[in-house]
Structure 1
Amino acid sequence: MLVDWFTVGAQTLNFLILVWLLKRFLYRPILDAIDSREKKIAATLAGADMKKAEALEERDDYVRKNAEFEQQRAVLMQDSIEEAKKQGQTLMDEARKLADALSEKRRSALQQEQQAIRADISRMTREEVFAISRKVLSDLAGIELEARMVEVFTKKLASLDEPLKTFTDAFTHNHTLKISHDSVLVRSTFELTAEQKGAIQEILHKLVSDANKPSDFSIRFETTQALISGIEMIANGRKIVWSINDYVDTLEKSVSALWTDAPDAKMSTHTMDAVSGSQVPGSQLSGSQISEKSVADNPIAGKSE
């Protein structure tokens, strides 16, 4: 086989020229493009890494801030819960105090109302009891009882000391009493007999004379139902009275005074004992107590009008 060295050389030269041309116009731009692309990719990766680092930093910062926020939120929530509990407890205490105050006020009002009702019932009971007592005593009073009272009255009259002295002072010469036919007024429930009137006139003149007082006076007799049963003598504002009505009035005043002094508008055991154990005082003369005898003792007492 024959070798054409010229052709081989020409082909080799052509190949070398082709290689140079490829390198110059093809490979170099491609390599440059690849290098440029690699640089861009490297720059992009570097930027991505930087952004990733920044993102990681921001994430860490966010996580830290989020943790701080959660911590603050938990603290604020706990404080809010405690404050709400305190406020709730305060409101509950205030509401309880207000409810207790209203309950106490209502209880006090009910107690006062009950006391007022008890006081009214007691007052009405006392009034009815004494009204019935007056009615019964008035129904029992009669001429025979009146006669007996006149008899006892004339006997008891002389036993009075201070009331009699005060009564007879009305008959002094320098007293303002003007001696007339109405010098002395004697009142009784029933009409007195002439004998009873004479007995009263005799004992009264005797007592006034014994007291060294002027006895030139007359006596006028009247009847009145206000006494229920009894006798009343009046001379110039001085009065000596002995009657069942006077006893009832005195007892009623004593019971009313004891009831008024008793606490909580009701009588205590001590007060009830005082009422049951006390003796009915007699009438009074110028505010001074004359005697403390029961009704059965038939006391005579003087009063000043």
Structure 2
Amino acid sequence: MQIDWLTVAAQIVNFLVLVWLLQRFLYRPITQAMARREERIETRLYEAKTAREAVDAEAADLREQQRALEADREAMLNEARQEADALRARLEEDIRKEMDAKRSTWQAHLEEEREAFADKLRQRAGHQVIDIVGRVLEDYTGSDLAGQVAGTFADRLAALDGDEREKLSAAANRAQGPARVESSVALKPGVRGQITRAIHECVAKDIEVEYREDDDLLLGIRLTIGEQTVEWSASRFLHRLETTLDEVMEHGAHRSSGRAPVTG
């Protein structure tokens, strides 16, 4: 078999031309289109990936913000609970102190009222005792006991100290009138003579003595010479006792009122 090399060469040339034509007008546009499509796909995939990453980042940021808000909320709740507990403790302490102060004040007032009532009761009892004694002495004023008291007054006059005697003597020298002896009842002549002798012996020899009655004197004698007075009587003793009792009660009341108040 004889090979026609010219035909073979022509066939090869035709094949190469066909390949070039296919490459130029078919394969290249197809590959370029595929490349562009792949590029668009890659771009879309990249954009989708970027968008997903952005979404994930935003979601993570939102979750972080949510955790931060939750932590802040818990912190604020804890702080509010602590402040509420502290406020409750302060209010309870204030209420306790106020109640203690009121209780102490009430107890102090109660004690003051009790002491005032006791003082008033003691004072009233003392005055009643004094009144009873005074009435008893009034009952004995008209008896012979009055004469015995007058005799006792003469003895007491004789027992005066030197200063008292000098004062009475000086008053007698200055006096223009008589010495005045007052008693609650009329004295018997013997008792008057005993008192007059005591005055002459202890005060002044020649002074005149006059006797009077005074209902205010309770079982006692009062001697008045000028501005000087000597008295010994149950009424004076009772008056001094009553004054002393009032002073003691008043001193006790001042001491109670001056006591420092108790506070809670």
TM-score by length of 2: 0.72
2:161 & 2:144 partners in 1: Cα distance?
28
Measured after TM superposition, the shift of residue 44 of structure 1 is: 5.1
Structure 1 counterpart of 2:111 = 111
1:156 & 1:83 partners in 2: Cα distance?
86
Contact 2:219/2:233 (<8 A) preserved: yes
User: 2:133 matched to 1:143?
Assistant: no
Structure 2 counterpart of 1:16 = none
Can you list the C-alpha shifts for 1:82-110, whole angstroms capped at 9, x where unaligned?
Answer: 22222222222222222222222222222
1:141 & 1:202 partners in 2: Cα distance?
23
Can you list the C-alpha shifts for 1:41-62, whole angstroms capped at 9, x where unaligned?
Answer: 7655544433222111111111
User: 2:237 matched to 1:236?
Assistant: no
* Correspondence list, 1:144-293, <5 A: 144-162=144-162, 163-172=164-173, 175=174, 177=175, 179-180=176-177, 183-209=178-204, 215-262=205-252
Measured after TM superposition, the shift of residue 184 of structure 1 is: 1.5
1:201 & 1:93 partners in 2: Cα distance?
82
How many residues align? The count is: 226
Contact 2:150/2:221 (<8 A) preserved: yes
1:108 & 1:202 partners in 2: Cα distance?
62
Task: Point out which structure has higher relative CO (alpha carbons under 8 A, 6+ apart).
Answer: 2
2:156 & 2:128 partners in 1: Cα distance?
32
Question: Residue type matched to 2:226 in 1?
Answer: N
Contact 1:228/1:244 (<8 A) preserved: yes
Higher fraction of helix: 2
Secondary structure in 1 aligned to 2:123?
A: helix
Structure 2 counterpart of 1:94 = 94
Question: Residue type matched to 1:130 in 2?
Answer: I
1:208 & 1:133 partners in 2: Cα distance?
33
1:40 & 1:111 partners in 2: Cα distance?
103
2:104 & 2:243 partners in 1: Cα distance?
35
Contact 1:184/1:235 (<8 A) preserved: yes
> For the aligned residues, what is the CA RMSD?
3.0
Report percent identity of matched pairs. 21
Question: Residue type matched to 1:242 in 2?
Answer: W
Question: Residue type matched to 1:201 in 2?
Answer: T
1:169 & 1:41 partners in 2: Cα distance?
149
TM-score by length of 1: 0.64
Contact 1:185/1:235 (<8 A) preserved: yes
Can you list the C-alpha shifts for 1:87-146, whole angstroms capped at 9, x where unaligned?
Answer: 222222222222222222222222222222222222212111111111122113323111
1:262 & 1:120 partners in 2: Cα distance?
11
Contact 1:189/1:225 (<8 A) preserved: yes
In structure 2, relative to structure 1, the CA distance for the partners of 1:160 and 1:206 (3 Å cut) is: same
Measured after TM superposition, the shift of residue 187 of structure 1 is: 0.8
| Gaps in structure 2 of 5+ consecutive residues | 1-24, 257-264
2:111 & 2:44 partners in 1: Cα distance?
95
Measured after TM superposition, the shift of residue 260 of structure 1 is: 4.4
Can you list the C-alpha shifts for 1:235-270, whole angstroms capped at 9, x where unaligned?
Answer: 1121111111222223333444444455866xxxxx
Measured after TM superposition, the shift of residue 36 of structure 1 is: 8.7
1:84 & 1:101 partners in 2: Cα distance?
25
2:43 & 2:158 partners in 1: Cα distance?
148
Contact 1:143/1:190 (<8 A) preserved: no
| Gaps in structure 1 of 5+ consecutive residues | 1-23, 210-214, 266-305
1:102 & 1:250 partners in 2: Cα distance?
42
Question: Residue type matched to 2:167 in 1?
Answer: T
Question: Residue type matched to 2:223 in 1?
Answer: M
